[in-house]
Amino acid sequence: MQDSSELAAAVRCIIADRLDIDEALVTPRATIVDDLGASSVAILELTLALEDELDVEVSDDDVERIRTVGDIIECLRERWSDE
């Protein structure tokens, strides 16, 4: 599918767009809730956007363990390698 840098760039872009924040704030270590200010509703919408735009499925268990942007990228890498 996409290589690691393309995946990370796509994830950053989607997060920035959905959370209406500057993409420069979306770093691998940025926490979704504390650093980026996402509410539980925003996290759900973000998950759906990632699934739709990147054509991948994110389980409820995955969502529960995701804390940072880097966690999202790693989760998506795992999903693609499983396919």
CATH number at residue 68: 1.10.1200.10
Range(s) of the domain holding residue 39: 4-82
The domain tally of the chain equals: 1
**Burial grade of 36 (CB within 10 A; 0-12, 13-18, 19 or more):** buried
For 25-54, the pLDDT digits (tens) are: 999 999 999 999 999 999 999 999 999 999
Residue 38: both structure tokens together: 């996402």
- Say what the pLDDT of residue 41 is: 94
**pTM of the full predicted structure?**
0.89
pLDDT, position 66: 94
Each residue's pLDDT tens digit, 12-25: 999 999 999 999 99
